[in-house]
Amino acid sequence: MRALKVVVFLSFMGLVASLNLNRGHHNANAVKSDAVDMSFLSTTTGATTFDPSFVTTTSTTPPVFSSAAPLTTTTFSDPVSTFTPGVAERECGCTHSKIWLDIVAVIDNSQTMTQEGISTIQATLDTVVHELTLNVTGGWASRVGVITFNEKATVVADLKTYTSTTDFENQLFTITASTTIQGVNILSGLQAALGLIKDANPGPNRRSVVILFSSAYNNGGYDDPLPMAHQMVSDNIKLITVAFVQRMESSEVLLLSELAYPGFNLTNDQTDLIDAMYDSLCQANCFCPGNWMQFRTNYNDITSRGYGICLYYAGISSGWQPAKLACHGEATGAYLTTEFSKEKHDFNVAYIKDVSQNGEYDYHIGLSYLNGGYVWEQANGQTVPLNNGYSNWNLHFPNNAQGNCVLNTNIVGSIIGWTNEDCWSKTKRYLCQVNTCDTDYYCS
């Protein structure tokens, strides 16, 4: 599975105010971006060097690199419930101590940030990182790197430096604002962050995040950071921006939001900054194995907010009961899909229409009649009753005389709804469902 790479690039405002089971045939909805010249990076044995016109380094410990093992299986940890089955769709897990990301904090330490601003950033970052579990070898823990920038970027610590939150805190509070350099070159900071992620070789089961703190934003020209930000989106690196607005200064820094991954733009003066940062980290740490589709708020926008649910379209027909057993074999904890809400039903239908190659949109769902009532399939043979107020029965259904299992089909016109079916004789496609890789389900 792929891991999330998190690069944190926070731009502060105010003085002290503050994821291939789709069998490779579904629409990838890829995000297009401008090409970015990567020639500024060069790799040597045991280290990555940067064009000195962009980056200097204060790190005294050379990084140690290792090749990621080939992706073979998915292992899910014991679940920690973040939703009420049968009532709501599962949200992404967000246990702070179990966030497993590569996170790079990129901090503006120019004169315009001021020492007061630096102190605010340090307090914010220290608060966020304190609840994480740090481990330089990865696994069910995070790795954190730090970069400062003004006219040039400086690597304070790579992703193999901090073994504890105490180590991080001790070095973080040694950072000071420049007393002479006013220039702010965001591009240099992002380039250095990308270099740290590349050198750390996170592998397919780890995501990366960059957090950018900045007191200024200058777009356009040779050092325009926007193309690099677009490249990060296409590389599945989530960029969090924190705009720091100084008193009596221009609010143009708010334009920093155009660099952020959609929904990941923050400001230093928002009252929920810490909670918003955790939420962004947990969204970045919430993804699906290859070929599984993550349920999200908007099917047509892959950057829209994701839920803690992965879906897999089976491109071959079977009866309902065999489909149920097949889903159990697709991944640990997988089962026939649920539809607790209209939003989930609509997403399922959109997914089916996107991946079906023969125009066949009927599909089995995990609803059946059992012991006097309708129940939804859940992980490991569990069930929950159909009692949350949402149903989508076609006209004249439910009708147990037609069978005790349920599929989605259209009887009249183009509206697709629930219909009873025989659990063996009706052969249709089906959707499997499993929890996302996130803080509560570690995937390796």
Provide the CATH number for the domain around residue 157. 3.40.50.410
* pLDDT tens track for 10-49: 443 433 333 333 333 333 333 333 333 333 333 333 333 3
- In the chain, which stretches have pLDDT less than 50? 1-83
**Domains in the chain, number:** 2
Q: Which pLDDT score, from 0 to 100, does residue 247 have?
A: 65
Those residues whose C-beta lies under 8 Å from the C-beta of residue 409, and which sit 6 or more positions away, are 361, 362, 394, 416, 417, 419, 428
Looking at 250, 284, 318, which one is the last position of a domain? 284
Task: Tell me the C-alpha distance between 312 and 355, whole Å.
Answer: 10
Q: Are residues 323 and 217 in the same domain?
A: no
Domain that holds residue 408: 293-435
Half-sphere exposure of 372 (CA within 13 A, CB side): 0
Q: Do 211 and 337 share a structural domain?
A: no
Q: What per-residue confidence (pLDDT) applies to 139? A: 85
CA angle, 237 then 242 then 245, to 5°? 155
Examine the fold and report which residue of 237, 260, 284 is the final residue of a domain before the chain moves on. Answer: 284
Of 429, 413, 354, nearest to 421 (Cα)?
429
Taking the C-alpha atoms of residue 49 and residue 349, their distance in angstroms, rounded to an integer, is 49
Query: Is 25 buried (19+), middle (13-18) or exposed (0-12) by CB count in 10 A?
Result: middle
Residues 352, 400 within the same domain: yes
| Same domain assignment for residues 127 and 52 | yes
C-alpha dihedral sign at 444, 106, 128, 273: negative
Pairing state of beta strands 383-385 and 373-377? antiparallel
Domain contains 440: no
- In terms of domains, do 274 and 303 share one? no
- Specify the pLDDT at position 84: 54
Give the pLDDT of residue 184.
Answer: 95
pLDDT tens digits, one per residue of 156-195 = 999 999 999 999 999 999 999 999 999 999 999 999 999 9
Residues 205 and 299 in one domain: no
Tell me how far apart the alpha carbons of residues 388 and 338 are, in angstroms, rounded to a whole number: 12
Instruction: Residue 325: count other Cβ atoms within 10 Å of its Cβ.
Output: 10
Same domain, 251 and 308: no
Q: In whole angstroms, what is the distance from residue 100 CA to residue 197 CA?
A: 14
Same domain, 182 and 300: no
- So what's the pLDDT on residue 254? 87
Question: Do 256 and 299 belong to one domain?
Answer: no
Position 13 scores a pLDDT of 40
Q: Given this model, what pLDDT does residue 246 score? A: 73
Query: CA–CA distance from 208 to each of 19, 202, 268, 317, 327 (Å)?
Result: 10, 8, 22, 38, 30
CA distance to 15, 154, 166, 167, per residue, from 127 (Å): 18, 23, 12, 14
**Radius of gyration of the chain from its Cα atoms, rounded to whole angstroms:** 24
Let me know if residue 443 belongs to a domain: no
Residues 240 and 307 in one domain: no
Asked if the structure places residue 382 within a domain, the reply is yes
Whether 80 is covered by a domain: the verdict is: no
**Would residue 263 be called left, alpha or beta, if left means φ above 0 and alpha means ψ between -120 and 50 degrees?**
left
Q: Are residues 187 and 327 in the same domain?
A: no
Q: What integer pLDDT is reported at residue 201 of this predicted model?
A: 86
In a domain, 74, yes or no: no
Residue 444 lies in a domain: no
Residue 50 lies in a domain: yes
402 domain residue, yes or no: yes
CATH number at 400 reads 3.10.100.10
pLDDT of the residue at 69: 31
pLDDT at 203: 80
Residues 23 and 130 in one domain: yes
Which of 252, 284, 316 is the C-terminal boundary of a domain? 284
